[in-house]
Copies of this chain bind each other. A is one copy, B any other.
Amino acid sequence: MAGKTVSLKVLAAHLGLTVSTVSRALNDYADISPVTRDRVRKAADELGYSANQNARRLSIGTPETVCYLMPRQIGANVQPFVAQLLAGLGEALNDRNWDLLVSQAETSVGDMTSIERLVRSGRVAGIVISRPLKNDPRIKLLQQLGCPFVVHGRTANSVDYAWYDVDGEDAFVTAINHLERLGHRRIGFIGAPLQYQFAQERLDGYTRGVAHNGLSQDPDLVQIAEFTDDGGTAAAGVLMDLPNPPTAIVCVSDMMALGALEALHARSLTPGEDVSVIGYDGLYFGKHANPPLTTLAQPQAHAGRRLGDILLSIIDGADPIKFQELQRAHLVQRMTDGPANVDAGQEDVSVREEPQ
């Protein structure tokens, strides 16, 4: 019923003042008498006045809005981190009463078009993008458009823009070191398509860890598959069916690791005893896997907040390259890592190679 929206003009008339005075009173101009200021404030509250933002933003020349470019689903994966990221971004923006827009394009080309439109039509003052490709054309576009942005993740060449990422390479070195201490010498790697930078980074970490520890560098131990649980199952199947299978497997994501567990179960192998498996992401859900999944957990909780703060700083004029922040993942030991059991793998293979 209070459906009628009240404008500055109406409020001013109600007070017997001009819009000019009322506007300045509401915006805390110093040259407004305290008495008037309070009168105006009170009336605004009573009438439920709230400045029309389209008008205000047109006038002040900024959209006071930031856009999160939601990543498309890769494979069948849901994106459990999106809600958390948005909450954090929103928190950062709330502090100055800015708005958060969400956009998701159907295709990569669509992404380019919508970024260009979003910026050119003055709808956003900055953009956050997630999970970039190795060589992501959106970054060059944003730079050309002169639009402030921050990347959640990194590209191959990440020197000249702002990003916030978790050190996947370091994480995989950590995983390999851990497995080496448990006595593993042949460790498999289940990866995702390498056009994603995160996939490449994690493979680099695996490669470095394996070399550094003098472990087997058998190329068959590296399996790239579709970025889903089924991809993980397929890749683990290939690994375990090798003449000389690994005693441990590291996976680029928890979802792929869960798939890998299925492949072990199908071969009557016990994860964590016969074969160790380590995932990546730290999904809460892994706690309830069969058995509970050991994983490299990313510190996701503050990513959104931090990305928001960084973007606002850049919009305020800070130099983007001052914001290149690398977080560390940490190992969360649950039940799928354990001492190397060389026999188990071998035995299994010989059984399958000599059917009854």
Q: Is the CB of A83 within 8 A of B58?
A: no
- In the bound complex, residues from chain B placing their C-beta under 8 Å from that of A109 are none
Q: Is the CB of B51 within 8 A of A116?
A: no
Partner among B54, B121, B144, B287 whose Cβ is within 8 Å of the Cβ of A63: B54
Indicate whether A122 sits within 8 Å of B78 (C-beta atoms), given known contacts A83-B70, A86-B102, A146-B3.
no
Q: Is the CB of A117 within 8 A of B70?
A: no
- In the bound complex, residues from chain B placing their C-beta under 8 Å from that of A84 are 78
- Provide the A1-42 mask, 1 if CB < 8 A to any CB of B, else 0: 111010000000000000000000000000000000000000
- In the bound complex, residues from chain B placing their C-beta under 8 Å from that of A81 are 78
Indicate whether A54 sits within 8 Å of B122 (C-beta atoms), given known contacts A70-B87, A258-B288.
yes
Chain B min CB distance to A152 (Å): 14
- Provide the A50-90 mask, 1 if CB < 8 A to any CB of B, else 0: 11111101100001000010100100101111111011001
For residue A291, CB closer than 8 A to chain B, the reply is yes
Copies in the assembly, this chain: 2
Chain B min CB distance to A243 (Å): 29
CA of A73 to CA of B87, assembled, Å: 10
For residue A100, CB closer than 8 A to chain B, the reply is yes
CA of A57 to CA of B3, assembled, Å: 19
For residue A328, CB closer than 8 A to chain B, the reply is no
- In the bound complex, residues from chain B placing their C-beta under 8 Å from that of A48 are 116, 120
For residue A196, CB closer than 8 A to chain B, the reply is no
Indicate whether A52 sits within 8 Å of B122 (C-beta atoms), given known contacts A78-B80, A90-B104, A99-B101.
yes
CA of A274 to CA of B102, assembled, Å: 47
CA of A55 to CA of B57, assembled, Å: 9
Q: In the complex, which residues 79-129 of chain A have their Cβ closer than 8 Å to any Cβ of chain B?
A: 79-84, 86-87, 90, 99-104, 116-117, 119-123
Q: In the complex, which residues 285-326 of chain A have their Cβ closer than 8 Å to any Cβ of chain B?
A: 285, 287-291
Q: Is the CB of A3 within 8 A of B145?
A: yes
- In the bound complex, residues from chain B placing their C-beta under 8 Å from that of A170 are none
- In the bound complex, residues from chain B placing their C-beta under 8 Å from that of A104 are 86-87, 90
Q: Is the CB of B50 within 8 A of A58?
A: no
Chain B min CB distance to A94 (Å): 8
Q: Is the CB of A291 within 8 A of B290?
A: yes
* Sample (27) of A-B pairs whose CB atoms are under 8 Å apart: A1-B146, A2-B144, A3-B144, A5-B119, A48-B116, A48-B120, A50-B116, A50-B117, A50-B121, A52-B58, A52-B122, A54-B57, A70-B83, A70-B90, A73-B83, A78-B81, A78-B83, A82-B86, A99-B103, A101-B101, A101-B102, A229-B288, A261-B288, A285-B285, A285-B288, A288-B289, A290-B291
| Residues in A lying within 8 Å of B, measured CB to CB | 1-3, 5, 48-55, 57-58, 63, 68, 70, 73, 76, 78-84, 86-87, 90, 99-104, 116-117, 119-123, 144-146, 229, 258, 261-262, 284-285, 287-291
Other contacts beyond A2-B144, A70-B90, A90-B103: 16, CB < 8 A:
A1-B146, A2-B145, A2-B146, A3-B144, A3-B146, A48-B120, A49-B120, A52-B121, A54-B58, A54-B122, A55-B122, A58-B58, A68-B102, A78-B284, A99-B101, A101-B101
